Structure 1
């Protein structure tokens, strides 16, 4: 019988371990990343995915739009896949919510990023805040922090906030919707209120992170960095962001990306408003490697804000009727551009 030395046997086992590590590394590098969209029923989660990717997911119109999770997968660079999960809306019924809580909790754990959608014209965040507390209940402090780090909060249907008016910046046959200065202030105030109500209660568990090119070299009690990432421990509020930007203007872009981790972003699927910023924020939150793996998606979003002029005409109009003469006094749809 052939004799096998102990050294050879040890080397053989070590090589098997090396092979296992390489397989796990390769599997992780090719792992599809996932983003879940959560929130109350009727906030426009499916409409947001349709606007981002040109899909035709059924949307609710006075009734439940999504009863089961639905997904859209899009390719990044080198075949990497990014999957968006459209989750059923919470708040349809007290009977259904416990099952939805379990479904949401599983998806929150499994997803790399979670977009939490709040209606921009909602008067309260209480229901969403209760849902978030229920999802985090029972988890230890570290797990709660990890789950909260996945959240990106958006205010959907910002187009419903008017007056003040929206501005359509027309460039030939297409254009882009922008809030007027007065409306921008209103949106900013609304976003700040939702941030205080929804995120600030978890301030001691929050953290922000973004990629860096390696030139960042600022550290303090809450800020840390390495050659690939910058991290902040706590709630990176607007006030914190401005303080860092004022002290270190050369790193203003890094601080803006950190701020995006906790910024509540108003957006509109109908007006295609802030969809570019939303996509950039999601990719940034996926981590330094994902920024390069999904750079193609960021390159593709330049068209996301473009709205055809003919479509714009259908989104709103005042028809002024002269009741004395019985004729139209004004009709925007007939106004020549």
Structure 2
């Protein structure tokens, strides 16, 4: 049975215990007050900037033909009591060999400095070689312990999930707005895509993978791969869905803890255009930052939840197909003209 040692109990005159208690308090205070940062990386054109603009209502420049982001662009979000969370929009790799040399140096710096790093892939792609080569180059340029540190920060996402059609997306209309979600066949396709990228980028690196999450109260699991201390619960290796299911079945009281550990190694499909899975993305990032971040940025999570709604007038333009009757020279069908 693993348990956090409580230094707040015992005689205040006990010198070593009092000193230990003060050290813990200072450490917790410093952990709570430190500035937090997240970087978003990946190939040019995968939608990194669009994702940040959608999440935070910013107006960072987006290029539909040529790359626009040439240097790290910060977006700072205030929390409670002056706490700040900064998201760094990184230049996209894959533009040119010369540019990539500079950009990958920036990536390595942010991979070491930031608390969480989102690595984005285009959902409608099966190409992994270039990203794999770049990530391997970054990891091989540092010591093993730094590799473990970097991999513990990485969250992999599939952007532009809206480009996967057919089968169709479902728009759940509630009054003047609604939310997008995949139908059954499309959901299975997204899950297969996510599983494929997980098999490429996480499974082969199981020996250096570490995942952690916060835990309140007592953690009653004794396992060679699981550890527990003041900072939370830790797992050595790849926390796959099979591993998550096995632990959850054996220790149902800690199902939420195992779910958060799993989220750290889950490849998440999302869409800025459809505002799909944005809440899951932000919840996963903030949870990964620790319990202090969950407290300080709970308002941010609530606001992101509100951002998932898409106005009906906007949604109906996304999938419009106008059918022209060539024989009669007239328009046969136009979704934008149909009353809802």
TM-score w.r.t. length of structure 2: 0.89
Matched, 1:91 2:94: yes
Q: Is the CA contact 1:166–1:179 (under 8 Å) kept in the aligned structure 2?
A: yes
Q: Which shows bigger deviation, 30-39 or 242-251? A: 242-251
CA distance in structure 1 between the aligned counterparts of 2:98 and 2:284, rounded to whole angstroms: 35
Matched, 1:182 2:181: no
Q: 2:338 maps to what in 1?
A: 335
Q: What secondary structure sits across from 1:96 in the alignment?
A: helix
Matched, 1:294 2:297: yes
Provide, for residues 151-180 of structure 1, a one-character-per-residue CA deviation record: whole Å limited to 9, x for no partner. Answer: 011000000001111000001111000000
Provide, for residues 126-167 of structure 1, a one-character-per-residue CA deviation record: whole Å limited to 9, x for no partner. Answer: 111111111112322111101110101100000000111100
Q: Is the CA contact 2:32–2:292 (under 8 Å) kept in the aligned structure 1?
A: no
Q: Which shows bigger deviation, 294-303 or 269-278? A: 294-303
Q: 1:106 maps to what in 2?
A: 109
Higher relative contact order (CA 8 A, sep 6+): 2
Q: 1:244 maps to what in 2?
A: 247
Q: 2:40 maps to what in 1?
A: 37
Matched, 1:70 2:40: no
Q: Is the CA contact 2:279–2:308 (under 8 Å) kept in the aligned structure 1?
A: yes
Matched, 1:253 2:256: yes
Q: Is the CA contact 1:284–1:290 (under 8 Å) kept in the aligned structure 2?
A: yes
Q: What secondary structure sits across from 2:303 in the alignment?
A: helix
Q: 1:10 maps to what in 2?
A: none
CA distance in structure 2 between the aligned counterparts of 1:155 and 1:72, rounded to whole angstroms: 21
Provide, for residues 66-98 of structure 1, a one-character-per-residue CA deviation record: whole Å limited to 9, x for no partner. Answer: 111101000112110000000000010011111
CA distance in structure 2 between the aligned counterparts of 1:22 and 1:190, rounded to whole angstroms: 44
Q: 2:307 maps to what in 1?
A: 304
Q: 2:18 maps to what in 1?
A: none
Q: Is the CA contact 2:104–2:138 (under 8 Å) kept in the aligned structure 1?
A: yes
Pairwise CA distance, 1:227: 5.7
CA distance in structure 2 between the aligned counterparts of 1:312 and 1:253, rounded to whole angstroms: 34
Q: 2:270 maps to what in 1?
A: 267
Q: Which shows bigger deviation, 110-119 or 220-229? A: 220-229
> Unpaired runs of 5+ in structure 2?
1-21
> Unpaired runs of 5+ in structure 1?
1-18
Pick from 115, 119, 139 the counterpart of residue 116 of structure 1: 119
Paired positions, count: 319
Provide, for residues 38-80 of structure 1, a one-character-per-residue CA deviation record: whole Å limited to 9, x for no partner. Answer: 0000000000000100111111211012111101000112110
Q: Which shows bigger deviation, 125-134 or 183-192? A: 125-134
Q: Which shows bigger deviation, 221-230 or 171-180? A: 221-230
Q: What secondary structure sits across from 2:75 in the alignment?
A: strand
Q: 1:13 maps to what in 2?
A: none
Pairwise CA distance, 1:288: 2.6
Q: Is the CA contact 2:32–2:293 (under 8 Å) kept in the aligned structure 1?
A: no
Q: Is the CA contact 1:229–1:288 (under 8 Å) kept in the aligned structure 2?
A: no
The CA RMSD over aligned residues, in Å, is 2.0
Pairwise CA distance, 1:26: 6.0
Pairwise CA distance, 1:226: 3.7
Structure whose CA Rg is larger: 1
Residues 25/166 of structure 1: CA separation in 2 closer, same or farther (3 Å cut): closer
Q: Is the CA contact 1:237–1:262 (under 8 Å) kept in the aligned structure 2?
A: yes
